[in-house]
Amino acid sequence: MSNPANPCISPFSLTMLMVIAIASLRDVPQIATYGLGAITVYIMAGVLFFIPVAMITAELVSTWPEAGGSYFWIKKAFGQHVGFVCLILYWFQNVLWYPVITTYAASSFAYFWDPAHAEALVNSPSYISCFIIVAQWAQTLMVLLGGLEVMAFIGSFSSILGFFTPAFVLIITTMAWIYTGMPSHLSLQLSSLIPPLHQAGSLTFAVTVILAFMGIEMTCAHVKDVRGGYKGFVLSIAVACISIMLVFILCALAIAVVFPSNSIVLQSGVVASLEKILAHFGLEFLSRYISLCMTIGVIGSVSAWLTGPSRQMSIAAKEGILPAVFSYQRHGIASAVVLLNSTIVSVVALVFYLQPSVTQTYFTLSDCAVQLYLIVYVAMISAAVVLRLRHPEKISAFQIPGGMLGLGTTAAIALFGCTITFLVGFIPPSQFALASPDHFSFFLAGMIFLICALASALYLLRRAYGCVTTE
């Protein structure tokens, strides 16, 4: 296990871990459908969500660095019951998110393994489901055997290979594509900066951009493992924010240059763009290896996400809310929780057989994950304000400038962004021909209610485990 007195993660490694945990090119094709408006969508997401949440996270982790992250902060502000319900929401959205990110990996791997039949594989429920199950258990094995230090190495390696490398190649080759006189589908009129969000159904894809920015707080579980302490942690957040925003915008514009908005495939748009551009320059063979790099990048992303939420679940088990088996850790990893994660993900992977298309399943799972995650963020942001009011004596290495006014303003902006995103998330996307759009909204609402009810019931039944809980 890692020793807090001897930190094992450098600020650079944590920055790379943040990048690979938060950022992925998987959602870029969705935002690329807005053309030049992608700039506006990403900036709005950054201003209304990513930047304020990153600042609030930096203050919380500096002021309350105790193990537990968002679970500890919410519990400290609103009590153990609310904290536990939010923890279950946080954990379960991960279970839904794993198949989403691994679908992106499966699409990338298809272009490496069998380019001639990649498009058919990308839309095959059998291929996608099998890939998700195999990849999930491979990641589980690596995390359980390697522990925290190996996970940090995988995060650094994967972010460079699977995120920055494909992004760099896509941006550079798109510039060359334009320079050689190839046609561009990207309108450069100033009016195009306003995304086509006049219809409710067209808003939903824009909302999923929030998922691309979620997860900054996940790395808080490792704050005591970082060299340089809290200052190193805050520096890592700043560098990660700038890098992610810049790469997202440039990659979305690159895809919009190569493909018209109505022909962008959500789960494989990045790979398809690279393949088309490289083929123009007679370098189509390189697209296979870049696809492999992107697959490896996703593997590293899943590895990073397996640890943070699992550690919080183990803390709840130590408090007696969950069975004691979930508190066991090996090499700093909550083994039983990780195994449970992978088991449920294997079941969720079968959902691809129940939807009309892989693309629709991919988006539905993404939207479900966003909705659950947003509830946790609302609680976490509110907790930051409550804790500052209750404990003004707590001085930390980082506080949002402006005192309570500065924190209140930052929190209000973040809460506004979360609320708008949550409400719009219930609107079915106009890009899908749904037999009954109302079923989409009812499904989301029903899932949220069911998970909250089950989490609350589990908390109320905690005494059945024979343990004494601690507030």
Domain borders along the chain are 11-464
- Is residue 365 within a helix (H) or strand (E), and if so which, with residue range? helix 358-390
Per-residue pLDDT of the chain (471 residues; tens, 9 = 90+): 444 445 567 777 777 777 766 767 777 877 887 888 888 888 888 888 888 888 888 888 878 876 557 888 999 999 999 999 999 998 888 888 888 888 878 888 888 888 888 878 888 888 888 998 998 888 888 777 766 566 656 666 666 777 788 888 889 988 988 888 888 888 888 877 877 655 545 566 666 677 667 777 766 555 666 677 667 777 777 788 788 888 888 988 888 888 777 666 655 667 777 778 888 788 878 888 888 888 887 777 676 666 667 777 888 888 888 888 887 777 667 788 888 888 998 888 887 777 667 777 777 787 888 889 899 999 999 999 999 999 888 877 677 888 899 999 999 999 998 898 888 888 776 655 554 566 778 888 888 899 999 989 988 887 555 454 555
Q: If you count DSSP H runs as helices and E runs as strands, how many of each does the chain have, helices first?
A: 18, 2
The closest of 143, 144, 468, 452 to 318, measured between CA atoms, is: 468
Please state, in angstroms and as integers, the Cα–Cα distance from residue 281 to each residue in 114, 176, 278, following that order: 21, 9, 5
The closest of 432, 37, 34 to 260, measured between CA atoms, is: 34
List all residues 6 or more positions away from 68 whose beta carbon is below 8 Å from its beta carbon.
Answer: 75, 221, 312, 315
pLDDT recorded at residue 67: 59
**CA-CA distance, 49 to 262, in Å (whole number)?**
28
pLDDT recorded at residue 466: 47
Q: What are 226's strand-pairing partners?
A: 9
pLDDT recorded at residue 263: 67
Count of residues for the chain? 471
**CA dihedral over 98, 350, 314, 157, signed as positive or negative:** negative
List all residues 6 or more positions away from 43 whose beta carbon is below 8 Å from its beta carbon.
Answer: 245, 249
Alpha helices of 161-283 — where are they, by DSSP H?
Answer: 165-179, 203-207, 209-213, 229-258, 269-280
pTM of the complete model: 0.79
SS3 (DSSP) at 189: coil
pLDDT recorded at residue 274: 79
What six digits make up the tokens of 328?
């066991």
The top-level CATH class assigned to 11-464 is: mainly alpha
What six digits make up the tokens of 424?
């719009």
pLDDT recorded at residue 202: 56
Q: What is the DSSP letter of 397?
A: S
pLDDT recorded at residue 1: 40
Q: What DSSP line would sit under 134-153, residue for residue?
A: HHHHHHHHHHHHHHHHHHHH
Q: How far apart are the first and last CA of the chain?
A: 26
SS3 (DSSP) at 54: helix
